[in-house]
Amino acid sequence: MMTTINEVDTLPRHPEPSAALDLEPEAFRAIGHELVDRITDLLAGIADRPVAPDTTPAALRTTLGVQPLPETGTDPADLMDIATKLLFYNFTFNGHPRFWGYITASAAPIGILGELLAAAVNPNVGGWSLSPIATEIEAQTVQWIAELLGYPTEGDGLLVSGGNMANLVGLTAARAAKTPWDVRASGLQGQQHPLCVYASTEAHTWLQTAVDILGMGTDAFRWISTDADLRMNTSELQRRIRADREEGVQSIAVVGTADTVSTGAVDPLPEIAGICREHDLWFHVDGAYGGLAVAAPEAPADLHSLREADSVAVDPHKWLYAPLEAGCVLVRDPHALLNAFSYHSPYYHFEDAVGDSEINYYVHGPQNSRGFRALKIWLALQQAGRNGYAAMIGDDMSLARALYRQVSDHPLLEPFTQSLSITTFRYVPEDFETGTEQAEDYLNVLNEALLT
């Protein structure tokens, strides 16, 4: 017997059970409004707070309490109150105007709101059919970042967690493109020609992590010395590439740094690009910190050669002021990421191709499940625009130059370097005689203690 629609409507209905994580609309609204008000007060008064808490791990563990997983639930309004107080009073505020220790940006308010909205719709930006508009917003965001860098927009790219992952994705694309055998199928086992990658001695530690994960090992690195300005020595790079080729080592990539997190030095990117073309090597640029500075008129000229790289990594959670996490990798070849990451399993029924077809980001990178990182960046790029970002980045660099000038005029401070938003200097006690090895050792210990 067939059941009709009318009969289905009259079937007895049982009340749905209340889930432990349910919140009634009015309760959600009240808790949310209270939280937004408290966050607003925090942002407005953050300068009046300490940069970091005067506490210890033991004290914080005592505050949290040593207790097992609760057997029964707790009122969500009380929980949000507890969590807010814990974070507001036991936190190192990287958005504080006196937070100078690391290259971490304050979160743009529109990005904070974007994170709330992204979490509310909660798309999985791995497959287009699971997240149609979120996928398209990510694609547009990646294109806008490329435009901001002056990088070709005909290529590919995706958003990841940060600089380490963006650089890893770029180096993975390099390995797939430049290894003369099918490295994705046979790996590195039994190969007669070891792979190697070149980078300066000032490069970031993501490199060791990347070659370890890729199975190449840290011995795959050829660390190239730097000049007086801590930029890669391209004459040595040329010599090392030729020597490796003569010894049967398979060179695949050169990593240029723009800029180093120690001093803000920019490698000679135009020269490195030419060397990579000469030797058919992949040119990757780690611009996680400084790449986006190219948007400012006073940026170092070498940064404009980002456009010549095969792949570039940048961090929107640095100079685009996006809330953590947000990294971005760009590649010149629109097929490069697909060639490095695409596999088609029988339980996936997503089609993907370059061009106007659906984008399925799970075949462009290492993640299947992907959060909606793009929204907070997409919103901020539109609120500020190119000119707004250029002005903010320019202001940051101007402040660092002002610091350098003041350090130079101070009798107890010795300046060293200034580039982009980084000024380096040290404290030298009054009437202290420098120049001997013993004196330098003492000053190193003293300044490390001051830094801590």
* Average pLDDT of the segment spanning 19-27: 93
Q: What CATH class has 115-383?
A: alpha beta
Give the N- to C-terminal CA distance of the chain in Å, as an integer: 79
Q: Confidence band (pLDDT; 50, 70, 90) for 8? A: very low
pLDDT for the residue numbered 256:
97
pLDDT for the residue numbered 193:
83
Query: Quick check: 14 pLDDT over 80?
Result: no
The whole-angstrom separation of Cα 274 and Cα 240 is 15
Judge contact between 353 and 186, C-beta under 8 A.
Answer: no
The whole-angstrom separation of Cα 183 and Cα 176 is 7
Q: Confidence band (pLDDT; 50, 70, 90) for 345? A: low
Neighbours of 408 (CB within 10 A): 13
pLDDT for the residue numbered 102:
83
* Average pLDDT of the segment spanning 257-262: 88
Contacts of 262 by beta carbon, 8 Å cutoff, 6+ apart: 202, 230, 422, 424
Q: How far is CA 273 from the centre of its chain?
A: 23
The whole-angstrom separation of Cα 320 and Cα 376 is 10
The pTM (predicted TM-score) of the whole model is 0.91
Judge contact between 319 and 107, C-beta under 8 A.
Answer: no
126-139 pLDDT, tens digit per residue, is 999 999 999 999 99
The whole-angstrom separation of Cα 92 and Cα 105 is 13
Judge contact between 158 and 340, C-beta under 8 A.
Answer: no
b (16+ CB within 10 A) / e for 24-41:
eeeeeeebeeebeeebee
Query: In this structure, which amino acid lies at residue 208?
Result: Q
74-104 pLDDT, tens digit per residue, is 999 999 999 999 999 999 999 899 998 788 8
* Average pLDDT of the segment spanning 207-230: 92
What residue spans define the domains of the chain? 32-62+75-99, 115-383, 386-451
Judge contact between 130 and 123, C-beta under 8 A.
Answer: yes
Q: How far is CA 107 from the centre of its chain?
A: 14
What percent of the chain has pLDDT above 90? Answer: 82
